[in-house]
Amino acid sequence: MATGLFCLPLAVLLLMQYRWLTHMETVNREAERANMSHYLDIVAEKTENHYRLLAAGLVQVPADLLTGDLAPILLHYRSIPREKLAPVSYLFHMSFVGDRDRETYLFDPQTGDWAAQVPDSYYKKVNLAGIHWWAWHQKKLDGAPEGLVTSHYLPNQPIIMHLIPDENGEVIGLAGMVLDDDYFGRFLADIVPDTLNATFPGRGMRAEVLDGTDVRRLETETIGAIESEDKVVRPFSWVFQDWRVAIHRNGGRTSGLAETTVMANGLVSLALAIILALGVLFSMRTAVNYRQLSDMKSDFVSNVSHELRTPIASIRVFSELMRDGKIGSMEKVVEYGTVIEQETRRLGGLIENILDFSKIESGQKQYVLEETDLVGLAEAIVQGFEQRPDLAGIRFARTFPEQVPALPLDRGAIGQALFNLLDNAIKYGPATQTIEVGVRLEETRASVWVKDQSGGIPVHERERVFDRFHRVHTGAVHQVRGSGLGLAITKHIAEGHGGRIALTCEEGVGSCFEIYLPFGGKERGCRAEKTGAVG
C-alpha cells in the first residue's frame, strides 16, 4: 500500500521527466541541425566569394580587345601571372561583333597559347554556353545581366562568364573561364575543416564533399560511427552546383538520451521503492511481534496470578478447617494435610520457574556441574510424582539402562527440567494414562525423555512451544493452567549443558520430549522433529 502510494507519484514524475527530456532532445536536435545548415551556408558563401573574386580579375576583358584580331587578347591573357591562373582549366572569349560565325577561342594557361587539342564535346559545351548569350544578344533582349554569370554545361567544371559591354552599354561579346575541379578540391580541403573547427570547436562533427558523380572528394577525420539521421547535406549554390557538401554528427547519438536517463532513474526509483517496501514490512513485522509479546506478557500475568491464587485459596481453606478443630477423623487430617503439601509444592515449583526465568532473562543464570547419577535423579523425580495421591490414575513406565556413568550435570537444573516435562505430561495428558520415562545412553551423549498420551502438539506450534510465555490456545489444552515458562526454561537448561531439547510428536497420540546431554562437547540448538517416537 505504502509502496503503491510512493510508486504512483514516482511513475508520474518519471513520465513527466521522459516527456520533458524527449522535448529537449527534439529542440536540441533541431538547434544542432540549424547549426549544421549554418555551417554549410558558410562553406557555400566562402566558395562563392572566392570565385567571384577570382573571376573579377580574370574574365573582365576590356571591350576594345574584342576587335576580331586575336593577337591583342592573347597578349592580354599572357600578361596574367601564371599563379593567378591555377583555378582555371581554360580562359575563353567570344565576340558578338560583325557577321562572322560565332567562334569560341580557348586559352590554355598550361601552354600560354590558344588551346590546340580541346576534346570536341568539351569545346561544344563551352561554345554552347557562349552561344546562349549571343542568342540572347541577337534577340535584342533588354537588360544585359551585370557582373558574372555561370553555366553548368560541363559537369564538374562549371563556367564563369562576363558579358562585355562597349562604351554605349551594348553587349559586344563575352569572356569566361572553365574552372579546374582539382583546384576546387584543394580549395575545399582548406576551408571545409577550418570552418568546421571554427563553427563546432571540440564537438564531434565530420564533413565530406561529393562531386557531381558522387565521388567523395574530401572527408574530414572520421571518429566513430555515423548516424545518418544526424546528417545535413546541401549543394553548392553558385559554381559547382552539382557538388554537395555534407556534415554529420560524428558518433554518439543525441537521441535516446531521454530513454537512458529515464531508465536509470526508473531503476534507482525501483530500488528505493523496494527498500521502502522492505522497511514497511520490517516495521510491520516488528509491530506485530511487539504486539504478540505484549499480549503474551499480559496472558502470563493473568495466568500466574490465577496459578498463585488457586493453591493459596485451597491452603487457606484447609488450614482454617484444621485450626478451628472442625476435622472429625484422622484420615481427614491426613487428606487435608496432603492437599496443603501438594499445593505448597506446586507453588514452590511455580516460584522456582519464575525466579529461574528472571535469572535467565538477566543473564545471571549459571549452572554448577557436579558428577550426577542421571538414572538416580530421574528415579527420584518420578517417585515424587508417584507418591502424589491425586495422580492415582497415572502409571509411570521406566526405561532406564543398567549402568550409566556419572555425568557432569547441574543436578537441581536437570531435576527441574525433568519435573517440568513430567508436570506437562500430567497436565496436558488424560487423568488416566501411562507416562513413559527413560534414560538413553549413546556413544557421545546421554538423554532423558518423557512420552505421554496427551493429544500431542499441533505441527505448526512445535517450534513455538519453546518460546517464553507461549501457550497453545487450541483444543482442550488451553483449559489447563500454566505460565508458558516451563519449556523455555527446560530448553535453556538443556542448552546450558551444551545439549538441546527435541520434540517428537505424533499428533493425536502423544507428546515426546527428549533432552540430549553430550558428555563433553556441545550440541546446541533446539529442534522439533517431525516423526518417530522416542524410546
Closer residue to ligand ADP (CB): 173 or 482: 482
151 near ligand ADP, rule: CB under 6 A: no
* Residue 430 beta carbon to ligand ADP: minimum distance, rounded to whole angstroms: 11
Closer residue to ligand ADP (CB): 54 or 426: 426
Question: With CB under 6 A as the contact rule, which of the stretches 206-214, 276-284, 322-330, 423-431 interacts with ligand ADP?
Answer: 423-431
Backbone angles phi, psi at 250, to 5 degrees: -90, 95
CA distance 234 to 228: 15
Among 95, 250, 454, 504, indicate the residue that binds ligand ADP (CB under 6 A).
454
Closer residue to ligand ADP (CB): 248 or 492: 492
The H or E element containing residue 218 is strand 216-219
DSSP code of residue 221 = P
* Residue 443 beta carbon to ligand ADP: minimum distance, rounded to whole angstroms: 28
* Residue 482 beta carbon to ligand ADP: minimum distance, rounded to whole angstroms: 2
Closer residue to ligand ADP (CB): 230 or 436: 436
Pairing of the two strands 171-179 and 159-165:
antiparallel
531 burial class (0-12, 13-18, 19+ CB within 10 angstroms)?
exposed
CA distance 325 to 341: 19
Among 425, 439, 493, 515, indicate the residue that binds ligand ADP (CB under 6 A).
425
Closest CA to 454 of 503, 510, 505, 507: 510
462 near ligand ADP, rule: CB under 6 A: no
CB atoms within 10 A of CB 432: 10
Give me the torsion for CA of 144, 146, 147, 152, rounded to 10°.
-50
Question: With CB under 6 A as the contact rule, which of the stretches 37-45, 354-362, 419-427, 523-531 interacts with ligand ADP?
Answer: 419-427
> For ligand ADP, what does the binding mask look like between residues 269 and 308, x meaning CB under 6 A?
----------------------------------------
Asked if residues 359 and 367 have their Cβ atoms less than 8 Å apart, the reply is no
Among 304, 465, 501, 534, indicate the residue that binds ligand ADP (CB under 6 A).
465
CA distance 179 to 158: 6
Type of residue found at 449:
W
Among 108, 211, 343, 452, indicate the residue that binds ligand ADP (CB under 6 A).
452
Closer residue to ligand ADP (CB): 239 or 435: 435
DSSP string computed for 143-181: -PPPSEEEE-SSTTS-EEEEEEE-TTS-EEEEEEEEEPH
Closer residue to ligand ADP (CB): 108 or 452: 452
477 near ligand ADP, rule: CB under 6 A: yes
158 near ligand ADP, rule: CB under 6 A: no
List contacts with ligand ADP (CB under 6 A). Answer: 420, 424-425, 428, 452, 454, 457, 465, 471-472, 477, 482-488, 511
